[in-house]
Structures are given as C-alpha cells and as structure tokens.
Amino acid sequence: MNKDYALNLDKRHILITGASSGLGRATAVLAARLGARVSLLARRENELRETLNALEGEGHSYWLCDLSRLEDIEPRIREITAAGPLDGLAHCAGIGRNRPLAMTRPDFVRNLMIVNFGSFVELIRSSAKKKHINDGASIVGVSSVAALKGDKSQGAYAASKAAVNGLVPPLAKELAPRGIRLNAVAFGMMKTEMYRIFQDGGGGGEELRGQYLGLGDPEDAAKVLCFLLSDYSRFITGTVIAADGGYLS
C-alpha cells in the first residue's frame, strides 16, 4: 500500500479531553498510533498515567483539569500549547448520568451543562486564539443519540448534548476563514464505564434493541474521531455525524 494515501495524524498535536477512560482513552491510543503527539486531559491522575503508558511514540503529556471550573481552562490551554499549538481537539470528557425529572435538580443540571457543553465552548474559545491552534486544525465534540431521541430520565443529559449539536454549525462558520473545521459525533451506546452505570440504572435494553449493529466498542468511536481529526475528512465541517449502530435510522 502507498503510505501517502493512508489515514494518518503524523506530527499533529492533538488535545483529548476525557482521556482517562472510555472513548477518550481509546481515541488517544489510536491517535498516537497514527502518528500524533497527544496531550491528555482529565481529573484522575493514575488513569491518565495508564493512558499515557499505553501510547506509542514520543512527546505525549497529560494535564489535570476539572472542566467544571471553566476559569481554569484558558490557563491550561496556554500551558498545553506552550510546546506547540494544537492541530486537533477532541472533547470526549462528559457526564452521562440519567435522572428522572423529580431528581433533576438545579445543581445536577448546571454541572451537566457545564461539563458537557460549557467547557467545550471554553476549550474552543481559548484554543481559537491564533497562537494556540494552527490554521487547518480540526475540532470534534462528542455528542449522543440522546440529543435527538432521548429516553426517560435523560432530559438534562439529552439537552446538554443537543446544546453541543447546536453549537457546531455557527462556530464552524466562524472558524472556517482559518480553515479550522468543527464537527460533532452523535454516538450510540458504547461499551464504557458510562454504559455500565447506565445499565445499573435500568437503562440499555430498549435502546440496544434499536441499535441493530449491537453495542459499540470504544475503538469504534476512536476510529470515527480520528477520521474527523485527519485530512481524510477535509471537506466535512459544521455537521453532526451519527455513529450509532443504526439507532437513529
């Protein structure tokens, strides 16, 4: 095979939030295998170290940051990019807790909206400063099928992912003059810790019946995210792609 035509992230500096587990960890592992220099971000240091140890190649690093503290994001971005601007950002960090309406209290809603949506806006805003991200970079948000077809007890979660979807078209237009692309992926159910918690809460059965390709692996998500981070998706921006095992069809 001619290597010039292979999908790669050679020498790209990619920031991956939520890299301590699940989809973020799998994306970091694949991005590094595809040649990227990866900056990992989350709160749990031991788990971030485990991800770091699983990465091929050199120059990777990890950064602790609680994304619910929006004011901490810009200084972190400055530190992360001190050794070179970003070529890509995948926002995999998120909270996936389901609660019935009676338990959907203000603190719960606020936290979901801040981590799933608000921190994504702040990550993009702080990165979009000229010296922090290169022209031609790619930014990807992780959304969910719940934004379009949420189940009982998913009100706040579904709304936080719908907010991510709503953000994509207008910001993609603002970023386009610099060739920076912005997309999101609405994932169906994937085999991660979040899914286990969802299952423990009684969820999963009904949704999985509609997801006729079965439960996704984190590696399936990583492939879609790395495609969107790569030049193979050069003509895709401002859109929300479904990677859902058929659930929305």
Ligand X SMILES: NC(=O)c1ccc[n+]([C@@H]2O[C@H](COP(=O)([O-])OP(=O)(O)OC[C@H]3O[C@@H](n4cnc5c(N)ncnc54)[C@H](OP(=O)(O)O)[C@@H]3O)[C@@H](O)[C@H]2O)c1
Which sequence positions are flagged as catalytic?
A: 157
47 touches ligand X (CB under 6 A): yes
49 touches ligand X (CB under 6 A): no
DSSP output for 2-52: -GGGS---TT-EEEEETTTSHHHHHHHHHHHHTT-EEEEEES-HHHHHHHH
Q: Site residues for ligand X, window 143-162 (CB under 6 A)?
A: 144
Least CB distance to ligand X at residue 72 (A): 9
Single residue of 128, 142, 225, 228 touching ligand X by CB under 6 A: 142
Stretch of residues binding ligand X (CB under 6 A), selected from 2-10, 20-28, 125-133, 206-214: 20-28
Angle at CA of residue 184, ends 180 and 64, nearest 5°: 80
For residues 9 and 22, which CB has a smaller minimum distance to ligand X in the complex?
22
Least CB distance to ligand X at residue 69 (A): 8
Stretch of residues binding ligand X (CB under 6 A), selected from 7-15, 39-47, 81-89, 201-209: 39-47
Element (H, E) at 173: helix 155-175
Contact 186, 160 (CB under 8 A): no
Single residue of 11, 44, 110, 234 touching ligand X by CB under 6 A: 44
Site string for ligand X, 195-214 (x = CB under 6 A): x-------------------
DSSP output for 142-158: EEETHHHH--TT-HHHH
**Which residue(s) pair with 42 in the sheet?**
64
Contact 187, 222 (CB under 8 A): no
62 touches ligand X (CB under 6 A): no
Least CB distance to ligand X at residue 246 (A): 14
Three-state DSSP state, 139:
strand
The Cα–Cα gap between 225 and 229 comes to 6
Six-digit token pair at 54? 């699983």
For residues 134 and 165, which CB has a smaller minimum distance to ligand X in the complex?
165
Catalog residues that contact ligand X under the rule CB under 6 A.
Answer: 18, 20-24, 42-44, 47, 65-68, 92-96, 115-116, 142, 144, 187, 189-190, 192-195
